[in-house]
Amino acid sequence: MYKIESKNVDFFYGASQALKNINLAIKPNTVTALIGPSGCGKSTYLRLFNRMNDLIDNTKIGGQVLIDGDDIYAKGVNVDSLRKEVGMVFQKPNPFPKTIFENVAYGLRVNGITDKKFIEERVEETIKQVVLWDEVKDKLKKSAFELSGGQQQRLCIARALAIQPSIVLMDEPTSALDPISTSKVEELIYELKAKYTIVIVTHNMQQAGRVSDTTAFFYMGELVEYDNTKTIFTNPKVERTQNYITGRFG
Amino acid sequence: MSHLDIELQQLKAETIKMWTLVNLQLSKAKEALLKLDKDLAREVILGERRVNAWELKIDRDCENIFALFNPVAVDLRFVLAVLKINNNLERTGDIAESIAKFVINVDTDFDKKLLEITRAVEMYDGALFMMEEVLEAFDKLDTALARKAFQQDEILDDINVKVNTVIADYIKNHPENIEPPLYLISVIRKLERVGDQAKNMAEEIIFYIEAKVLKHRSKAEKKKE
Ligand SMILES: Nc1ncnc2c1ncn2[C@@H]1O[C@H](COP(=O)(O)OP(=O)(O)O)[C@@H](O)[C@H]1O
Ligand SMILES: [Mg+2]
């Protein structure tokens, strides 16, 4: 059984087609990397999984996106509960202008949880999960903006995890981070795989190699090649993929 | 051309130089063997130092490319292939040296008929030919040529197997002269190893190139190559 499936997916911004007939199936508890040159549709594709593109005017989707076998674009789907199931982390750490504690508690409160003890426990548990606890346990009441960029990004990951999604989407989550923070986030992704299905957009080829199980190469709105990451980086089947990953993209 | 392309091209040129040097070592050792020319044999032994120096240089260059460029796909396969070929060449160089040492140690009244009846010269020519052809396959990215090494190697193996009875007969008929045929058997074994090294290198070349034959390319594109 696949966690995520996309069948003949097309996507349009107005009249311009950003995704063309994308077919791809993702197994649970895996990390999938989406790679490809800027503007090839990676972020657009990623945002389909939590229906974030719905927020953009004048867009249209064709084909099907299934999560746990259910079409998430079918009539009557509750988008709020879908977004609880599918968390998202962005390129730039974007903590809310609140305390460290409240950033992680936010999602719980929004979802109607009021039990103070439950919230406290869940916040601690989640911050530990992203290996940030030792660094912030004495300043939970301080503003999240006092943290370094790398810490903020891990806090944002904690915020996404607090509501216990089963899928985590990450759009270039380390492109604004220094190498040490980057490797912390990569370690984290590797560990999170045991509990979540992760889809990550990255421009860093080595990162795709290090963190992902499967890699999908997009080019101009099309899925060119999708295979085990090892195969993609040792022996890709399509010449265009090889040109891209070896840096010979002309 | 990208910086990486320039590095890879240099690596290839270095490998070809080392290969040419090793082939030269082998053919000098052959000359030395046929003429029992001890001076030439000494030259081969001195040349071994240059082979070793090349090996270190190529090793280091591969290491640098791995560390600095993180090569993937065809580039990765190329550097991996060179790393292994480098190792095979170094061993082939060792073999040339040990044949030269044999020439230095052997008595000058060595019965040259032995070279004929054991097919040692034929085997030597075969081994040299393989080394030349596989080098050309590497230079020209020609996997068909690389594949020829597999057949050639079987001929060497065959000579190697048959030499036992030939030597046994010789010893029976010349019980007073046992040492030279025994020495020669060890040379033959070494030539058999040269064949193995050349075959290994042919395999590396195929590994590096054939994965490049991409499934989704059109037939016309493939023909162009
Ligand atoms: N909100 C938007 N409105 C209109 N076009 C967009 C919008 N977002 C992205 N696009 C277009 O869709 C294509 C794919 O963009 P995107 O998914 O952001 O690519 P990537 O993440 O691979 O860089 C691009 O041509 C881009 O200009
Ligand atoms: Mg993007």
pLDDT tens digits for B119-165?
999 999 999 999 999 999 999 999 999 999 999 999 999 999 999 89
Q: Give chain A positions within 8 Å (CB) of B71.
A: 246
Mean pLDDT of A68-86: 95
> Is the pLDDT score of B223 beyond 70?
no
**Ligand located closest to A34 CA:** 1
Work out the mean pLDDT of chain A and round it to a whole number: 95
What domains lie within chain B, and their CATH numbers? 3-224 (1.20.58.220)
Least confident of A158-167, B94-103, B170-179: B170-179
Query: Which residues lie closer than 8 Å to A81 by C-beta, 6 or more apart?
Result: none
pLDDT value for B1: 75
Mean pLDDT of B29-39: 93
Residue B218 pLDDT level (bands cut at 50, 70, 90):
very low
CB contact under 8 A, B77 and A236: no
> Is the pLDDT score of B219 beyond 80?
no
Instruction: Say what angle helices B73-105 and B38-69 make with each other, to 10 degrees.
Output: 160
Mean pLDDT of A207-233: 96
> What's the CA gap between A14 and A16, in Å, rounded?
6
Q: How many CB pairs under 8 A join A and B?
A: 40
Say if ligand 1 is within 6 A of residue A189 CB. no
Mean pLDDT of B187-197: 94
Of all residues in chain A, what percent carry a pLDDT higher than 90?
A: 92
Q: How far is the CA of A92 from the centre of ligand 2 (A)?
A: 12
> Is the pLDDT score of A169 beyond 90?
yes
Q: In terms of C-beta density within 10 A (0-12 exposed, 13-18 middle, 19 or more buried), how is residue B111 classed?
A: middle
> Is the pLDDT score of B116 beyond 90?
no
Nearest CA to ligand 1 atom 21: A43
> Is the pLDDT score of B213 beyond 70?
no
Architecture (CATH level 2) of domain A4-95+168-241:
3-Layer(aba) Sandwich (3.40)
Global pTM? 0.84
The SS3 call for residue A7 is strand
Nearest CA to ligand 1 atom 16: A41
> Is the pLDDT score of A16 beyond 80?
yes
Beta bridge partner(s), residue A197 = A167
pLDDT in tens, A177-215: 899 989 989 999 999 999 999 999 999 999 999 999 999
The SS3 call for residue B36 is coil
SS3 annotation, B49-71: HHHHHHHHHHHHHHHHHHHHHCC
Say if ligand 1 is within 6 A of residue A40 CB. yes
pLDDT value for B225: 42
**Ligand located closest to A37 CA:** 1
E-strand ranges in chain A read 4-13, 16-26, 31-35, 59-67, 70-71, 86-89, 167-171, 197-201, 214-219, 222-228
Q: How far is the CA of B164 from the centre of ligand 2 (A)?
A: 70
Say if ligand 1 is within 6 A of residue A39 CB. yes
Say if ligand 1 is within 6 A of residue A202 CB. no
Domain ranges in chain A are 4-95+168-241
Structural contact between residues A224 and A240, judged by C-beta atoms closer than 8 angstroms: yes
pLDDT value for A250: 58
Query: Which residues lie closer than 8 Å to A78 by C-beta, 6 or more apart?
Result: none
> Is the pLDDT score of B220 beyond 70?
no
Atom of ligand 1 nearest to the CA of A34: 22
What amino acid occupies position B59?
D
Strand order in the sheet with A4-13: A16-26, A4-13, A59-67, A70-71
> What's the CA gap between A172 and B194, in Å, rounded?
51
Residue of B nearest to A207 (CA): B70
pLDDT value for B2: 82
Question: Measuring CA to CA, which residue among A52, A51, A65, A50 is closest to residue A9?
Answer: A65
Query: Which residues lie closer than 8 Å to B223 by C-beta, 6 or more apart?
Result: none
pLDDT value for B108: 67
Residue B114 pLDDT level (bands cut at 50, 70, 90):
confident
Work out the mean pLDDT of chain B and round it to a whole number: 90
Supply the ipTM of this predicted assembly. 0.73
pLDDT in tens, B64-102: 999 999 999 999 999 999 999 999 999 999 999 999 999
pLDDT value for B54: 97
Least confident of A65-79, A171-185, A213-227: A171-185
